[in-house]
Amino acid sequence: MSYRKNAYEVLKELKSDANKGLSTQEAARRRRELGANELKKQKKKSIFGLFFEQFHDPMVMILIVGAAVSFFLHEMMDAAIILFVIVMNAIIGVIQEFKAEKAIDALEKLASPKAHVIRNGYIKEVDASALVVGDVVDLEVGQYIPADMRLIAAKNLKVEESTLTGESEAVEKDAIYTKEMPVADQQNMVFMSTFVTYGKARGVVVSTGMQTEVGKIAAMLSSQKEEMTPLQMRLAHMSKILGILCLIVCLSMFGVALIQGRDLLDMLLLSISLAVAAIPEGLPAVVTIVLAMGVQMMSKNRAIVRKLHAVETLGSVSVICSDKTGTLTQNKMHVVKCWNNQVYDVPDQELLRALVLCNNAILQQGELMGESTESALVSYALTHGVDKNDEESRYVRVNELPFDSNRKKMTTL
């Protein structure tokens, strides 16, 4: 309940200092005790584990039985074809899952955030995974928040919390004390994996890793059982029916042999041959190839599908229900026209200079970070030849009056 205490009480409880932070030794000790500031990942399966997992499908199990029976009956060609289909089916599945895992690993490495932490009184940049409870961290526009933090000080801070709350509008934050309230309304707290869109702040880490709010969500998701897709359920049902029919055929033929006094061994072999003939050896291969083609189409559209059968569930979707919070669009704003008593297609250079200087969005390596409105203004100015970084190198900001609803404007000097 850190949000219900004032900043001084939180720092005292965590044995930290707002200006000096933790010592390097104390941070190392806490990391040994509490572990890294990372979300717990499920243990990855080896290539062999992925390969043998492909044989859990009921249809594949029936094919394996069919191959064994064919081998027993010296039908070597049938046995070889069935085994070839089974192995190819498994190899295609393994290749797809392995490629998906590699792509996800690469994305995680790209998304590994950094943090500006105060250690021994000095600001240093570290990996977010190195943070511990009690660390004092500085936040600014464009940064992902690396852990759950109680704000010590904040200036015009706005945080985009859609990953946690689903609300796309940036939320205003402050270091003030608040009464008991749900996570989405805690103004003096910022949470792991959310994003700073405006202002600056300093906070003290109160939760890391799986103890954070997003960590609790990850724990709930990992505890969910994996459900079968509609196609898997239909194939499993068909496999069950085929298995029962094969058993009935074998018993019926064997019963007829007993009644007619025929050679029992010949009739047993005939019954088993009929059962093997009833198994559609090509079906798993056809299903796998079709799903693999679907995966390839998805990958061309920059969508990673981890498991083959997930493609079929996407194809079964007929209705998508969603609230409109910017999640179905790019959530970007664009300036179309300028107006000053009349509409201008080509804006005045002084106006463009004002747009970029009275603005807290950041332009780094061609990428804009900040509030949607401010980013749109910087982008518009850039398309008309006015670069925010160039203007800021010529005009140094000495003061700022943030936007407020009474003045209806922001002012920079």
Catalytically annotated residues: 323
**Residue 387: helix, strand or coil by DSSP?**
coil
Contact 221, 210 (CB under 8 A): no
Residue-by-residue DSSP string for 7-55: HHHHHHHTT--TTT-B-HHHHHHHHHHH--S-PPPPPPPPHHHHHHHGG
Spatial separation of the C-alpha atoms in residues 2 and 204, rounded to whole Å: 10
Give the residue among 381, 375, 338, 380 at the shortest CA–CA distance from 360: 375
Tokens 């943070």 sit on residue: 131
Q: For the chain, state the CA radius of gyration.
A: 31
- Taking the CB of residue 343, how many other CB atoms lie within 10 A of it? 9
Spatial separation of the C-alpha atoms in residues 216 and 146, rounded to whole Å: 15
- Taking the CB of residue 389, how many other CB atoms lie within 10 A of it? 12
Angle (deg, nearest 10), helices 58-72 and 264-277: 140
Tokens of 25: 């030794």
